[in-house]
Each structure stands twice: as C-alpha cells, then as structure tokens.
Structure 1
Amino acid sequence: MQESLVDRASALLERPGRAVLGITGAPGAGKSTLAAALLAALGPDVGHLPMDGFHLADVQLDRLGLRDRKGAPETFDVDGYVAALARLQSAPDRVLYVPGFERDLEQPIAAALAIPPSARLVLTEGNYLLLPTDGWERVRPLLAEVWFVEVDDDVRRERLVRRHEQFGKSPEAAREWVERSDEANAALVAATRDRADLVIGTEAAA
C-alpha cells in the first residue's frame, strides 16, 4: 500500500474530535482489502465500522421479496447504519458495538465489532457511501473523507465470480448473479465516483 495513503489517513487524526474515513467503490473493487491494510498500518486504536454488517438478514429479505437482490441499496438497514455513524460523534465516551458480516454464512452478526472511546479514527467501507438518494444521502455528511477504489471491470467481475463460487454457488450461478445483480449495483456506485475526495486504483492500495 502506498505510504501516501497511510499518511493521508493519519492526518485525519489531527482534526479535533473523532474522524470517520469512508472507503467506497463497486462490488469487488477491493474496499475491504484497503480497509484491512489501513487498519494494520494505523494501529489498534483505529476503529472499524463496515457497512456490510447492516445487510438485512435473509429472513427479512424473504419477507420483503428481496432475496434475489441481496446487496442492492434497499437490502441494507440504512437507518441503523446512519444511527451507528452518528453515535460515533454523539457518544464518543462509550464503546460502540456494531454488527459484522460473516461471509461463510452470508449473514450479519450482531455486536461482532466494538469501537472503543480511544478510537479517534474510524474506517467504514461499503458500496453506497456516496449514494444521493433513499436515505443514503445522510451518510456523507457524517464522514470526514470518502475514498473511491476502482479496478478494471473485467478483473473486478472475475473476483466476484470466484468469491461467489468460494461461498457455495456453482460457476454458472455465480456468473449469473454477478451479471444480473452485482453489475446493477456497480452501475449505481460508478455514478457516485465524482463525489469522492480521492480516487485510487487497487494497485495503489496493495
């Protein structure tokens, strides 16, 4: 990972209070990889609040008839995500427990992560941090900066196919899901690129 990215993230610690750095990009672009690298480089007092923890559980997706759109903006608890981000500022002296996402189960796990009061920088990554509609527009004002990660679309799609295969889909089902669902979501995210504070390629984040 480029040292300049670590330096830029570290500079957010110089701001008064607590800063939240958002990392966004299309599905498969490398958001989680960059977040993990930054967390490792910046040390234990940096918090982590991934948007994926706010996936609706499958039981709710079934109730809403949205299982085949899992990963789309409407399949997340955006109100819960915004509330968690807001609590980083409104209650900085309290531990904030937030959900994680278990990829083996493809389900959110309640209170899987804890953000301590000592965390003056918190990383959050997800597809829709810059989406301007449907409640997502409340996210950007809560973030100090948003970085947009991008990679060649063919590389990104192959990553997604391999990921879906790894978690149980057949090659045919994995490719169908990517082309039907993931790519529709990617188009929404791509339209938000110009709203980011920084655009970086995956090679810079490696």
Structure 2
Amino acid sequence: MAGVPATPAVPPVGPDPATPLPSPWLDFTREDWAARRNNHPLSLTPDEIARVSGLGDRVDLREVEEVYLPLSRLLSFYVNATAGLHRVTTDFLGERPAKVPFVIGIAGSVAVGKSTTARILRELLLRWPQSPRVDLITTDGFLRPNAELEARGLLQRKGFPESYDRRALLRFVADVKSGKPHVEAPVYSHLTYDIVEGESVVVDQPDVLIVEGLNVLQPATVRSEQRARQVLSDYFDFSVYVDAPVEQLREWYVERFLRLRETAFASPESYFHRYAALTDSEARETAAGIWQRINEPNLVKNVEPTRDRATLVLRKGPDHAVTHIRLRRL
C-alpha cells in the first residue's frame, strides 16, 4: 500500500549456512606430529616392538618414535591433569578421594591394527618415570559364548554390537572406574573362537586402564520412554580410533587370513582348522567372503560411524604406517 513503510527484514537466527563452522579437529602430518616428541627418550627395543606387534602389522622403531611416543607424552599430560582435577573436585565436594584410573578406549576395524596400538601404548605408558600400573582389556572377553550366539541366531554376526554382553562390559568398566578392587573380566580364546569357561582376568585398581575393541565408541540410543542409556565411552577419559580406507582393510584382512592359515589355523584345536588345507586361491575367496558378509557390513554400519567420537584419530596408509593424526580440540 502506498505510503506504508516496508517491514524491515529480520536477520536470520543462528550461523550463516554459507559460512563453514570451525573444525573441532587439529590435523597433523606425521612429520608435524613427530616433532611433539620433544626429544623424549624411547624406552622400547626393536625386539619388544616385534613382540607386541600383531600378525601383519608392520610397526617399526621409527613409527613408534614418530607416532606412539608423542601420543604417550600427550597421554601423560592428560593423566596428570585429570588426576589434579579429580583432587580439587573431591576437595570442593568434601569427599574422600579414591583412586580413580584414567581410562583409554581404542576402537577401529578388524585388521586395522588396534590391538597392536593398544599393546604399544601400554608398554610405553608402563615406562613413564612414575612407573604407573597399566592394564589392558579387550572387549572380546565380553562376547556372548558361541552356544548362546547360536541360540539367538547371532553366530554369523559375531563382532556386531548385539553379540556382546554389553551390560556386563559396562558394569566391568564402571566398577574399575569407581576404584573398586579385584574386578574380573571373562577370557576369550582366539584359538577356540569362544569364551574360556571358568577363566577370568583380574583388574585391581590400576593407574591406567586401556579398553580395546570394535564397538567401544558406540553412542547411546534413546529408548521408547525417551531415556538414553549409559554407554561404555561415558567412562573414557581419552579415546583413539585407528582408521584406514575400507578397500585397504579388506586387503589386510585377506592377507592376515592367509597368514593364520599357516599358523593358528594349523592347530587341530583351532575353530578354523578346516581352513588350514585351503589353497591360496581358495583361502583368498573364503576370506573375501567372510569380509563381505560380516566384517565390512559391521564396519560400515557400526564401527566407522563412531570415528568422529574419538579424541584422536590415527590414519593409516597402504603400508600399515600411520600417515596423519587428528586431535580433537579441547
């Protein structure tokens, strides 16, 4: 209508969609990351590195110096800072301070080398000047027994989140984190591919606990009554995701299967002994089929989506070596 002033435009609420949000990550090349070692001495020998390396993981002295030693140094800062925060918080609340371990979660795909990462970090952390007690637990011990998985129709989904006794795993980590002594975890045998009945390992108030497994960074889900359940990562102080492209992981899995055919599978006690007599081409076809049916779907649906929930991501190249590091900003 003539003579009526136009209504001023209302500025949009929230960030401009055309402006990218700041990244929550700090990105490092391996060379940049290696400089963070700051001349900290390496206390592992080549023989010790070989002893803790997994089948097919080509971790050498140089990679430990350039990747894992700086990470160990960073973790020492986190552990000390967290312990200080715990002391001042309990003092503020008037509580009696209890020994609370620093918990590190390590996640990643089958065949990516997360077990080797966990073992190397444990060896480095054990050698800190204060000689901390460091325990390492894999979530394999909390897989449901094969008989139970078979009864539930889950034997072909071993490694998927539903194949674990998640309540028992959560209770275990919660008890350790609360400072409870003598917390027991079940034992899993990769030879028999099953839980070892009647056996357990005891975690007794360590300074640091490393929890390694496929699904340790799974997020919470909302139940029908709109209450999110607790998850394992609620108890982590730091987490690492070991990453590699899917096609590379597939190749590494097949290579590892071929090596296992000549080693562990050769034992008559092995669950996979039937694969020991396969030819190279048969073994490759079998491994590729297992990967396609089980491991890749689990990776794509359940494991890889948790990568950005980690505190730090180690990205690997075709030769198994770490090439890039991403650290979440504080």
Normalised by the size of structure 2, how large is the TM-score? 0.57
Q: Which residue does 1:24 correspond to in 2?
A: 107
Q: Which residue does 1:9 correspond to in 2?
A: 75
Identity %: 26
Q: Which residue does 1:146 correspond to in 2?
A: 239
Q: Contact between 1:130 and 1:136, CA under 8 Å: does it hold in 2?
A: no
Q: Which residue does 2:191 correspond to in 1?
A: 104
Question: Which stretch has the larger CA shift, 37-46 or 163-172?
Answer: 163-172
Unaligned 5+ runs, structure 1: none
Tell me the CA shift for residue 8 of structure 1: 2.1
**AA of the residue aligned to 1:32:** S
Superposed CA deviations along residues 154-189 of structure 1, whole A, max 9, x for unmatched, are 332123224445243451322211011100111121
Q: Contact between 1:100 and 1:111, CA under 8 Å: does it hold in 2?
A: yes
Tell me the CA shift for residue 24 of structure 1: 0.6
C-alpha separation between the residues in 1 aligned to 2:250 and 2:229? Answer: 25
Tell me the CA shift for residue 133 of structure 1: 4.4
Q: Which residue does 1:88 correspond to in 2?
A: 176
Match of 2:314 among 187, 200, 203: 200
Superposed CA deviations along residues 19-73 of structure 1, whole A, max 9, x for unmatched, are 1000111222111010011112122710112111111111111110111111111
For these two proteins, the number of residue pairs brought into alignment is 203
**AA of the residue aligned to 1:38:** L
1:41 matched to 2:124? The reply is yes
Q: Contact between 2:103 and 2:177, CA under 8 Å: does it hold in 1?
A: no
Please tell me the root mean square deviation across aligned C-alpha atoms, in Å: 2.2
**AA of the residue aligned to 1:99:** P
**AA of the residue aligned to 1:96:** V
1:174 matched to 2:240? The reply is no
The structure in which a higher percent of residues are helix is 1
C-alpha separation between the residues in 1 aligned to 2:289 and 2:160? Answer: 16
Q: Which residue does 1:120 correspond to in 2?
A: 207
- CA spacing shift, 1:74–1:149, aligned 2, 3 Å: same
Match of 2:159 among 71, 74, 83: 71
Task: Report the 3-state secondary structure (helix = DSSP H, G, I; strand = E; otherwise coil) of the residue aligned with 2:79.
Answer: helix
C-alpha separation between the residues in 2 aligned to 1:194 and 1:108? Answer: 31
Q: Contact between 1:26 and 1:186, CA under 8 Å: does it hold in 2?
A: yes
C-alpha separation between the residues in 1 aligned to 2:199 and 2:207? Answer: 20
Q: Which residue does 1:191 correspond to in 2?
A: 305
Q: Contact between 1:27 and 1:160, CA under 8 Å: does it hold in 2?
A: yes
Q: Computing the radius of gyration over CA atoms, which structure comes out larger, 1 or 2?
A: 2
**AA of the residue aligned to 1:45:** R
Question: Which stretch has the larger CA shift, 44-53 or 63-72?
Answer: 44-53
Normalised by the size of structure 1, how large is the TM-score? 0.88
